[in-house]
Structure 1
Amino acid sequence: MPTDRLNEALERFYKLQRELEVEIDRLLQEKREQFHYHLERGKVQFEQGMRALHKRKRISAWQYLTHARLRHVISAPIIYSVFFPFLALDIAVTIYQQICFRLYGIPLVRRSDHIVIDRHNLAYLNVIEKLNCVYCGYGNGVAEYVREVSARTEQYWCPIKHARRSREPHHLADHFLDYGDADAWREKLETLRKDWSTLDTTAPPDHPKE
């Protein structure tokens, strides 16, 4: 049966994905040892002497500005103007899930799993570079956070696969009902609304539990 083959392929995929996560964690640990830092409750701690070494490699903000390309200076106000839509989206989605997910029985998305801001701890970045990195971390984190909230919302309200697969569907989409399967829609919708077994709701390594 095609469905059985798909389920077997998905199981192999998820097994490889788990193995990949283990390998990524191992490589990250190697990088932490290489660059002499570790995490304590999600916060970066550099070994003694590393911050002083990093500071010697920092370019001053004035030197950074005087060597900045004109197109970067001109476009900066436009780039930073997008902060306000990101902030509004962040607030709106947080309020939405705090109210609606509790009403629907959907596990809440842990915002801090997706919005990671830690590059400002790097002493070799000047104040402008730190600000840029904070902004990039926040913007991409909000996008990732909103995607996960949207994915769980879609599983609750419309867990049907598309007739044409999108380029990068979210991780819940493979468990949705087949496009055109009217019987499954009526018979399995309520089951899918309660089945969150595919979620990994545990905190990642070195993540402070909330």
Structure 2
Amino acid sequence: MTQRMQDLASEIVRLQGELDREIEARRKFLGVRIRARLVDFEHGITMEHRRLRRGVAGFLARSSIGTVLSAPVIYSLIVPMVLVDLWANLYQQVCFRVYGIPRVQRSAYILLDRRHLAYLNGIEKLNCLYCGYCNGVIGYVREIGSRTEQYWCPIKHALRLEDPHRRYYEFLEFGDAGGYRARLGEFRARLQEADSADEPPLRP
């Protein structure tokens, strides 16, 4: 990785931190408090949320027939998602122990906290549970996959990859045969030293 590429990667990390701070400031403005992973709202805000809740009957009345008819198709995805979740967990419990790779913390990716929002009705809460779980599983599996890729094949693709995982930018350039032979052990060792998903990036 060139110095320019490293500088750009560092800038992306800096901007992500700045965005996180802005999001936190917005949460405080909305009265959200988080203590020990438990979310609470300031006094009076929950009552306002309940006032804004739309009942299930009204929610369904405003839904199109296409939305209602497509719901079973949408929710049918829960079956393969649960299987992928279980299989990915088994995969990392077995393989990551063999390779000495720290296992991904599932609870850091699958969050089901939106069901506590008082302005959501029962159907909306169910939708939020479903989306939180499915997208959480995808993120969880993606991190497992990225650690596997760093261990076995830390090489960029020749073609542009849309939205690569966070480890990808540190990978070796496509065609860098000497670097691959010389640095594969370094990539593996660096991964084995990681103890969380917040592992700092590799240096060139």
Superposed pair shares fold, TM > 0.5? yes
TM-score bin, normalised by smaller chain: 0.7 to 0.9
Distance 1:20 1:115, change over 3 A: same
Query: Counterparts of 1:198 and 1:103 in 2: how far apart (Å)?
Result: 15
Once the 2 structures are TM-superposed, how far is the Cα of residue 124 of structure 1 from its aligned partner?
A: 0.6
TM-score, structure 1 normalization: 0.86
For residues 121-180 of structure 1, what are the alpha-carbon distances to aligned partners after superposition, in whole Å with 9 as ceiling and x for unaligned?
110100000100111111111111111110110111122222213122222222223323
Q: Give yes or no for the alignment of 1:143 onto 2:142.
A: no
Query: Counterparts of 1:34 and 1:40 in 2: how far apart (Å)?
Result: 16
Counterpart mapping for 1:128-207 below 5 A: 128-196=123-191, 201=196
Once the 2 structures are TM-superposed, how far is the Cα of residue 197 of structure 1 from its aligned partner?
A: 8.6
- Alignment correspondent of 2:80: 85
Pick the aligned partner of 1:67 from 54, 62, 65: 62
Would you say how many aligned residue pairs link Structure 1 and Structure 2?
198
Note the residue ranges of structure 2 that are not aligned, 5 or more in a row: 199-204
Query: Would you say the 8 A contact 1:39–1:45 is kept in 2?
Result: yes
Write the letter of the residue equivalent to 1:93: A
SS of the residue corresponding to residue 38 of structure 1 reads strand
Identity value in percent: 42
Q: Which moved more, 1:178-187 or 1:60-69?
A: 178-187
Query: Counterparts of 1:27 and 1:185 in 2: how far apart (Å)?
Result: 39
Q: Over aligned residue pairs, what C-alpha RMSD do you find?
A: 2.1
Distance 1:185 1:27, change over 3 A: closer
Query: Would you say the 8 A contact 1:105–1:194 is kept in 2?
Result: no
Query: Would you say the 8 A contact 2:9–2:169 is kept in 1?
Result: no
Query: Counterparts of 1:198 and 1:20 in 2: how far apart (Å)?
Result: 26
Note the residue ranges of structure 1 that are not aligned, 5 or more in a row: 1-5, 204-210
Once the 2 structures are TM-superposed, how far is the Cα of residue 200 of structure 1 from its aligned partner?
A: 8.1
